[in-house]
């Protein structure tokens, strides 16, 4: 029975691999040690994340998004017997996606994350309809009066999110440390800019 299930998963995996345009990245759900393996992974925009069981689940788990890029679709998948189930997610936005197993986040620290990168996602200001100024900046940055009300997130180069909200005439960055950051703007498409706080 187990070998039949494994054969089924293998055939399904091969079919999905040929039908998908991007790469499928596997994250195992490990019931024995209450972990996602690997706990962190970096993929390219257009790739697929697929969670598979590493062993038969004795407890109910979830794959639940907690902190994801603005505009990205949230996910909350229940994970239990039978162990031949799997869950796929295709991210549509660059950025860091954090997720947890809600029953075991606190007691077992069952958390994971994946970072989505895209080709040419960091744009020079002169190549975009958005113009970030000033750069370097001290207390405020701006995208101009016509680009207000758009969701944004500011990340450090380590992927940690520091600020988020909606663009205004000026975005207050005075609380940030003096270093380089990325700001993600969601409009008709995702725009990411690099700026320096000094």
- Do 54 and 103 share a domain, yes or no? yes
- Do 12 and 100 share a domain, yes or no? yes
- Do 6 and 77 share a domain, yes or no? yes
Give the pLDDT band of residue 5 (cuts 50, 70, 90).
very low
- Do 78 and 130 share a domain, yes or no? no
End-of-domain residue from the set 98, 117, 136 = 117
End-of-domain residue from the set 76, 97, 117 = 117
- Do 111 and 191 share a domain, yes or no? no
Going by the DSSP 8-state scheme, the letter that residue 105 receives in this structure is H
- Do 136 and 172 share a domain, yes or no? yes
- Do 147 and 61 share a domain, yes or no? no
Residue 186 sits in which domain range?
A: 125-196
Task: Read off the pLDDT of each residue in 64-87 and give the average, rounded to a whole number.
Answer: 80
- Do 75 and 105 share a domain, yes or no? yes
- Do 113 and 135 share a domain, yes or no? no
The number of domains in the chain is 2
- Do 90 and 137 share a domain, yes or no? no
Choose the weakest-confidence range: 88-92, 113-117, 138-142: 88-92
Give the pLDDT band of residue 176 (cuts 50, 70, 90).
very high
Give the pLDDT band of residue 28 (cuts 50, 70, 90).
confident
Question: In sequence order, which ranges of the chain are alpha helices (DSSP H)?
Answer: 2-19, 105-108
- Do 31 and 102 share a domain, yes or no? yes
Say how far apart CA 162 and CA 169 lie, in whole Å: 19
Say how far apart CA 105 and CA 9 lie, in whole Å: 28
The CATH number of the domain holding residue 112 is 2.60.40.420
End-of-domain residue from the set 53, 84, 117 = 117
pLDDT of residue 7: 38
Q: Hunting for tokens 């969601």 — which residue is that? A: 186
127-161 residue pLDDT tens: 346 778 898 999 999 887 777 788 888 888 777 88
Contact (Cβ atoms closer than 8 angstroms) between residue 166 and residue 150: yes
Contact (Cβ atoms closer than 8 angstroms) between residue 61 and residue 55: no
Give the pLDDT band of residue 17 (cuts 50, 70, 90).
very low
To which H or E segment does residue 115 belong? Answer: strand 111-117
- Do 81 and 145 share a domain, yes or no? no
CA nearest neighbour of 61 among 3, 104, 98, 2? 104
Q: Give the β-pairing of 151-156 and 61-67.
A: unpaired
The CATH number of the domain holding residue 169 is 2.60.40
To which H or E segment does residue 177 belong? Answer: none
Name residue 116's beta-bridge partners.
43, 95
Say how far apart CA 112 and CA 61 lie, in whole Å: 13
């Amino acid at each position: 029975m187990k070998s039949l299930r494994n054969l089924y998963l293998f055939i399904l995996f091969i079919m999905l691999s040929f039908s998908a345009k991007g790469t499928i990245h596997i994250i195992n759900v490990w019931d024995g040690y209450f972990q996602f393996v690997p706990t962190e992974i970096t993929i390219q925009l257009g790739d697929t994340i697929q969670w598979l069981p590493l062993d038969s689940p004795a407890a109910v788990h979830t794959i639940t998004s907690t902190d994801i890029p603005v505009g990205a679709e949230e996910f909350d998948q229940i994970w239990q017997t039978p162990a031949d189930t799997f869950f796929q997610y295709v991210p549509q936005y660059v950025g860091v996606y954090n997720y947890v197993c809600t029953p075991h986040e606190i007691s077992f620290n069952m958390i994971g994350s994946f970072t989505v990168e895209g080709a040419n996602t960091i744009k020079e200001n002169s190549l975009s309809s958005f113009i970030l100024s000033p750069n370097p900046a001290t207390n405020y940055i701006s995208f101009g009066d016509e680009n207000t009300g758009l969701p944004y997130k500011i990340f450090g180069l380590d992927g940690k999110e520091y600020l988020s909200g909606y663009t205004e005439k000026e975005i207050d960055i005075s609380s940030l440390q003096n270093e380089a950051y990325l700001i993600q703007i969601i409009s008709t498409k995702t725009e990411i800019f690099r700026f320096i706080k000094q």
